[in-house]
């Protein structure tokens, strides 16, 4: 079931030209629970809930595809580079092990 | 007599410290790696949440500016001077308490001072002052003078099972010594300027926290009775440390271990 | 030619081994996860048994001493032209002693323009972190660094 999650896509530098290679970061609020830790008060296992897939899609083309495991920190950050190739949209689609699917988009507007 | 105990304690503390230092002191390169993480601070997510909450409950940036009788231009510098004495509240208040007042004025049930939503919202509001220099004026009025004195007293008073005060670990004498891999920070503007870098993301807690919430964590682990957030002593402690960090450039949210 | 039956027999053996290993290594104290995987199994699963080469082209940046195990910054940079004929196909980050050694598998394309990936991982204790790189020509490169995990400071 989809759930509203806070997420951000950051591009560095903020202003870029067509053809430039920019740093792109995706960050999201997610517990990344491994399923092996216990709730300190109730002593019960916290069920596993972690992002298992992240996909960067730019103008309909998948540029980066990640398989994610339990070990990423809570509220994870994924940073990589991408080559700007025209005006359009970057969409990050992420799913977790419980079947939750979400996406976040950012408009790409190269200057000059 | 008192000095005797003090010296004994510092010697004991220093010996543990140097041991820690030999064992595991983090290198500058390691620290630089952690500093780089500020670029993608997870707290940015919480601050974005705070911005939405402020729009929903407090009328956004304009709402808070109007409530504090400021223009949007003068708001950042004004926010950089908190905690302040506000006649409407009849006491010295932090940004979080101002937000409570504003929420209730707008007919909403205020968030608790110790709630994630309040931390997020106050972090967003304080981030409006980013780039401004912390400009608290502890001589502005008798109430602020009183708060400063109370804050200093709270800072210096030894309490709890181990007879520790804030000053035991954060006095000039021990600053920089390594305690369990962490150098004891200089809280003033010359050092980490705590008041200018909180609210911050606590990596070990995976959440955004305010300065007063951090004081509570510190008190709990040093076996001091925890003082409630928003109480006169707690706000006074924030006044005292903010004044120590006066002049530091505000950069919120911070990122802390 | 391998018979269908033989193939399944072989598969059965592999499955039995991987099912037993996690139980042995995590007996008792920690609840096991169905994703538990040892470092060696993980490397073999990625490379298909090939031995990755150590290479100075792979720059792995992790702290020597992590101030907490919950958030350990990891950055991997690989020297590569990132053209359609010569690019980094994947960056895998592995932690030798986590119950699941695999942290993340990042599949890159020439459209990335630069072979870099950065994230933050959890480490269950002092161990080695590796960046295992798959190149478009099928070669595997590796860089490894040990990370001391401490419980630092107060609170």
Query: Of B39, B45, B206, which is closest to A8 when you measure between CB atoms?
Result: B45
Query: Of B24, B29, B203, which is closest to C68 when you measure between CB atoms?
Result: B203
Supply B199's token pair.
Answer: 């609210």
> Regarding beta strands C140-149 and C53-54, do their DSSP bridges make them parallel or antiparallel, or are they unpaired?
parallel
For CA atoms C122, C124, C125, C128, the dihedral sign is negative
Q: Which CATH class is domain C37-149?
A: mainly beta
SS3 C13: helix
Angle of CA points B20, B22, B24, to nearest 5°: 65
Identify whether the C-beta of residue C152 lies closer than 8 Å to the C-beta of residue B181. Answer: yes
Q: Do the chains contact at C150 and B179, CB–CB below 8 Å?
A: no
Of B78, B56, B77, the residue nearest B68 (C-alpha):
B78
Which residues are registered as beta bridge partners of A103?
A93
Q: Do the chains contact at C109 and A45, CB–CB below 8 Å?
A: no
Structural domain boundaries in chain C: 37-149
Neighbours of B27 (CB within 10 A): 11
What pLDDT score was predicted for residue C152? 62
What pLDDT score was predicted for residue C14? 44
Mean pLDDT over residues B101-126, rounded? 94
Mean pLDDT over residues A12-26, rounded? 93
Q: Do the chains contact at C117 and A77, CB–CB below 8 Å?
A: no
Mean pLDDT over residues A78-100, rounded? 94
Better pLDDT: A97 or B6: A97
Of B74, B75, B46, B51, the residue nearest B253 (C-alpha):
B46
Of B55, B73, B75, the residue nearest B65 (C-alpha):
B75
Identify whether the C-beta of residue B250 lies closer than 8 Å to the C-beta of residue B132. Answer: yes
Rounded distance between C-alpha atoms, residue B201 and residue B160, angstroms: 28
Domain that holds residue A21: 7-35+46-106
Domain that holds residue B89: 2-256
Weakest mean pLDDT among B19-23, B80-84, B123-127: B19-23
Interface of C with B (CB under 8 A): 61-68, 70-71, 73, 75, 120, 148, 150-155
Q: Which residues lie below 8 Å from residue B80, measured CB to CB, with a gap of 6+?
A: B129, B132, B133, B134, B135, B250
Q: Do the chains contact at B39 and A29, CB–CB below 8 Å?
A: no
Predicted-complex ipTM score: 0.89
Which percentage of chain A shows pLDDT scores above 70?
96
CATH number of the CATH domain containing A76: 2.60.40.10
Q: Which residues lie below 8 Å from residue B20, measured CB to CB, with a gap of 6+?
A: B178, B179, B180, B181
Weakest mean pLDDT among A67-81, B127-141, C10-24: C10-24
Rounded distance between C-alpha atoms, residue B23 and residue C15, angstroms: 43
**CA contacts within 13 A on the Cβ side of C42:** 25
What does residue B62 show for φ and ψ, rounded to 5 degrees? -65, -40
Rounded distance between C-alpha atoms, residue B57 and residue B115, angstroms: 15
Q: pLDDT band for position B47 (50/70/90)?
A: very high
**Cis geometry, peptide bond prior to residue B139 (ω within 30 degrees of 0):** no
**CA contacts within 13 A on the Cβ side of B85:** 15
Query: Chain-wide mean pLDDT for chain C?
Result: 81
pLDDT at B142 over 90: yes
Per the structure, how many domains does chain B have? 1
pLDDT digits (tens, 9 = 90+) for C81-107: 999 999 999 999 999 999 899 999 999
Per the structure, how many domains does chain A have? 1
Better pLDDT: B16 or C137: C137
Of A88, A89, A111, A16, the residue nearest C113 (C-alpha):
A16
Q: Is B204's Cβ below 8 Å from some Cβ in A?
A: no
Q: Is B116's Cβ below 8 Å from some Cβ in A?
A: no
Sort out which chain B residues have CB atoms less than 8 A from A77's CB and list them: 40, 42
Q: pLDDT band for position C6 (50/70/90)?
A: low
What pLDDT score was predicted for residue B60? 92
Identify whether the C-beta of residue B219 lies closer than 8 Å to the C-beta of residue B226. Answer: yes
What is the per-residue DSSP string for C78-120? E-----SSS-EEEEEEEETTSSB-EEEEEE--GGGSSEEEEEE
Of B81, B84, B227, B257, the residue nearest B157 (C-alpha):
B227
pLDDT digits (tens, 9 = 90+) for C111-140: 999 999 999 999 988 999 999 999 999 999
- Identify whether A2 is part of a domain: no
DSSP state of C124: S
pLDDT at B87 over 60: yes
Sort out which chain C residues have CB atoms less than 8 A from B215's CB and list them: none
**Strand ranges (E), chain C:** 53-54, 58-61, 65-66, 72-78, 88-95, 102-107, 115-121, 127-135, 140-149
What pLDDT score was predicted for residue C21? 38
Supply A36's token pair.
Answer: 């092996």
What pLDDT score was predicted for residue C13? 45
What pLDDT score was predicted for residue B222? 87
Better pLDDT: C49 or C32: C49
- Could you tell me how far CA C149 lies from the centroid of its own chain? 18
Of A105, A103, A2, A1, the residue nearest A53 (C-alpha):
A103
Query: CA of A1 to nearest chain C CA: how many angstroms apart?
Result: 23
> B211: exposed, middle or buried (C-beta count within 10 Å: 0-12, 13-18, 19+)?
buried
Query: Chain-wide mean pLDDT for chain A?
Result: 90
SS3 B8: helix
pLDDT at C18 over 60: no
What pLDDT score was predicted for residue A4? 66
Sort out which chain B residues have CB atoms less than 8 A from C76's CB and list them: none
Contact partners for chain C, using 3 or more CB pairs closer than 8 A, are: A, B
What pLDDT score was predicted for residue B20? 37
DSSP state of C153: S
Query: CA of B62 to nearest chain C CA: how many angstroms apart?
Result: 37
pLDDT digits (tens, 9 = 90+) for B188-221: 767 778 888 999 999 988 899 999 999 999 899 8
Query: Of A65, A76, A82, which is closest to C113 when you measure between CB atoms?
Result: A82
């Amino acid at each position: 079931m989809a759930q509203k999650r806070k997420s951000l896509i950051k591009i560095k530098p903020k202003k870029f030209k067509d053809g430039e290679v920019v740093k792109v970061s995706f960050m999201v609020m997610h517990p990344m629970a491994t399923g092996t830790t216990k709730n300190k008060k109730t002593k019960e296992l916290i069920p596993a809930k972690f992002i298992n897939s992240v996909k960067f899609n730019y103008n309909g083309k998948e540029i980066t595809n990640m398989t994610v495991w339990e070990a990423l920190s809570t509220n994870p950050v994924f940073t990589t580079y991408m080559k700007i190739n025209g005006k359009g949209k970057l969409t990050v689609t992420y799913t977790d092990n419980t079947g939750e699917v979400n996406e976040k988009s950012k408009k790409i507007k190269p200057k000059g | 007599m008192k000095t005797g105990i003090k010296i004994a304690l510092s010697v004991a503390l220093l010996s543990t410290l140097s041991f820690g230092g030999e064992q595991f002191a983090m290198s500058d390169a390691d620290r630089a790696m952690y500093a780089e993480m500020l670029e993608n601070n997870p707290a940015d997510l919480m601050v974005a949440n705070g911005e939405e909450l402020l729009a929903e409950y407090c009328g956004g940036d304009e709402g808070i500016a109007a409530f504090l009788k400021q223009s949007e231009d003068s708001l950042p510098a004004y926010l950089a001077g908190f905690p302040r004495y506000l006649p409407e509240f009849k006491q010295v208040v932090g940004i979080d308490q101002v937000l409570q007042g504003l929420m209730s004025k707008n007919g909403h049930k205020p968030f608790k001072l110790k709630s994630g939503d309040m931390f997020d919202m106050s972090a967003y509001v304080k981030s409006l002052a980013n780039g401004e220099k912390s400009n608290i004026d502890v001589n502005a009025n008798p109430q602020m003078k009183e708060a400063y004195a109370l804050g200093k007293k709270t800072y210096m008073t030894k309490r709890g099972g181990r007879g520790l005060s804030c000053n035991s670990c954060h006095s000039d004498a021990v600053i920089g010594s390594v305690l369990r891999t962490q150098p004891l920070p200089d809280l003033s503007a010359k050092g980490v300027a705590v008041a200018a870098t909180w609210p911050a993301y606590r990596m070990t807690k995976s959440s955004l926290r305010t300065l007063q919430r951090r004081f509570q964590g510190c008190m709990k682990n040093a076996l001091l009775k925890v003082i409630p957030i928003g109480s006169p002593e707690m706000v006074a402690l924030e006044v005292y440390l903010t004044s120590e960090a006066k002049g530091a450039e505000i950069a919120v949210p911070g990122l802390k271990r | 030619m391998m018979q269908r039956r033989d193939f399944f027999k072989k598969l059965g053996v592999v499955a039995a081994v991987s099912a037993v290993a996690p139980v042995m290594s995590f007996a008792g104290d920690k609840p096991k996860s169905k994703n538990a995987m040892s470092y060696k199994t993980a490397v073999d699963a990625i490379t298909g048994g090939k031995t990755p080469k150590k290479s100075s082209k792979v720059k792995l940046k992790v702290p020597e001493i992590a101030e907490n195990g919950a958030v350990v910054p990891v950055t991997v940079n690989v020297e590569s032209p990132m053209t359609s004929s010569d690019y980094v196909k994947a960056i895998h980050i592995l932690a030798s002693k986590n119950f699941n050694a695999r942290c993340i598998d990042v599949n890159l394309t020439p459209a990335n323009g630069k072979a870099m990936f950065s994230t933050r991982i959890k480490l269950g204790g002092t161990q080695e972190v590796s960046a295992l790189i798959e190149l478009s020509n099928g070669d595997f490169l590796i860089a490894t660094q040990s990370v001391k995990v401490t419980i630092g400071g107060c609170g």
